[in-house]
Chain A
């Protein structure tokens, strides 16, 4: 199997629209939406959900008011300022939004007055779509552990890819360079960084390129909306070369992307002959020709 992860650093550069376009071109592939925080790929893929699973991503402490003697040890121990006094009651409660789920308060409470239970932080789904199967997820609002959920959906996707002899796993990655991004790239063949010719796009591409290099992950670069600022687009090509990332092409600004999105389709389905779609085909071929995409990753 092979896996390509689409990243960008900066959000909103077109990761998901491009992933959807690649899905229309790829043939025997499976999709994984690793942006569990604000997943959007399902809006284009219209998945038929076959399996729904809970994601027990962590623990949360809860003080039983009747058992609490108000000694305050939990508040002293908590490094996350999650333990707060119940006003006028002489006892304490735990603010779930601040609780890190470390369990130190519960383990050490002299009255055993703190419940510490596993909590459901989200759900993940195995679905079929018109292009192939898809693993996706939804992290609960304000939950921690998005990195663990990303790792979980990728593991599930990789298992199924191997079991069903699928050639390629296409993973739509999250923005940024932190925990969920790091969880989205391990063991992949390569990452494709989608950037835009803006000062922010370049700044953020450099950060995610450094991240890929840090983890020794081969990286390719393509530019969306290059005609917005051709000088900046040229600067991106130079940076890609300097950082030893293959530059695989550039897309013009094309309203067809948004039109396709509004219809819940990929641009290849609605505007196959548009200027952007023509370039996407070229980019796709160059990506699949990259030496890193020729290797079979068994783990």
Chain B
């Protein structure tokens, strides 16, 4: 089973829910931090990193001694990443989407591909009794293509066991790359107008993917009841409410888990997992 934890709005508590859920489980699992622009899960779970691999994107390299300046490469490229002007060919690797079109279309076979470094995938294990596997991606500073880094993190998934994914905020391509193929999306929001607005966008994305979802309302008590009313109207189960509590906020600020600061939450997160499991199994039976 794959559970993806997403939100729409940033800073609502995705990582809090992901890390505390992990620290409460008795079964073995794998945690993947797919917020490759700003990964935070490691700050709360102190993984022991043992592996590191580069994420490279193939970009074109033109052998000018073979090039006849026919411009077919420039014509097929939708990203403006290769330009032929007179007897020069210029490539713009940062614009390249690595589709490979230019290499295929070149009649002289003058274009080969070289690797461009865009990020890193780090692997290791968490210091919990089951020593669960952990993986995270890290987009290199100044690089724009986060989906390939996310996809490489997700290659670590083993379909049979439980995988928990900490997704990035938003509703565009990096979020889709982090939710696609999941069995369940756990949406984390806060009961404010911003939280509600971005939740509705996230729910649209989840619907588009046809994945069942449930809601965690974090910082319950601030704002208003609109999120709850929305969830009721949309038939989205509210699986957990975490009240706004300065003690929780203070523990979080220090990198402490909620289940360490307030151990009674361990049972609460276990129940959260059980309710997710029940929803996924029900869908499997139907």
Interface residues of A (CB under 8 A from B): 9-13, 16, 37-38, 40, 43, 58-59, 77, 79-80, 97, 100-104, 107-108, 139, 141-144, 146-147, 174-179, 181-182, 196-201, 203-204, 207, 210-211, 214-215, 225, 228-229, 232, 255, 258, 261-262, 264
Contacts and interface: CB of A to CB of B under 8 A. Distances in A.
A173 B170 CA distance: 13
A142 B172 contact: yes
Measured as residues with beta carbon below 8 angstroms from the partner, the interface class of chain B is 35 or more
B214 to A, nearest CB: 19
Contacts of A80: 99
Nearest to B196: A43
Given A100-B99, A176-B169, A198-B253, A207 B37 contact: yes
Most buried by B among A40, A141, A144: A141
A46 to B, nearest CB: 12
B253 A107 contact: no
A273 B79 CA distance: 51
A261 B173 CA distance: 28
A203 to B, nearest CB: 6
Contact of A38 (B78, B100, B201, B224): B201
B144 A147 contact: yes
Given A104-B99, A107-B101, A141 B205 contact: yes
Contacts of B224: 262
A254 to B, nearest CB: 12
Contact of A142 (B101, B176, B198, B222): B176
Interface string B77-103: 011000000000000000001111100
12 contacts: A12-B9, A79-B98, A104-B76, A142-B172, A142-B205, A175-B11, A175-B37, A176-B146, A203-B40, A214-B142, A228-B250, A255-B222
Contacts of A261: 192-194, 223
Interface string B179-212: 0100000000010111001100100110011000
Given A43-B193, A97-B180, A262-B223, A178 B174 contact: yes
A11 B167 CA distance: 12
B253 A211 contact: no
Given A10-B11, A261-B194, A198 B101 contact: no
B278 interface: no
A175 to B, nearest CB: 4
Given A37-B170, A199-B255, 4 more contacts: A79-B99, A141-B204, A228-B253, A262-B224
A201 B146 CA distance: 20
B203 to A, nearest CB: 10
B10 interface: yes
A38 B8 contact: yes
Interface in B22-63: 37-38, 40, 43-44
B184 to A, nearest CB: 18
Interface string B145-176: 11000000000000000000000111111111
A177 B253 contact: no
B78 A142 contact: no
Contacts of B37: 175-178, 181, 207
Interface in B113-157: 139, 141-146
A229 B254 contact: yes
Given A10-B10, A40-B194, A102-B99, A200 B40 contact: yes
Contact of B250 (A104, A182, A229, A255): A229
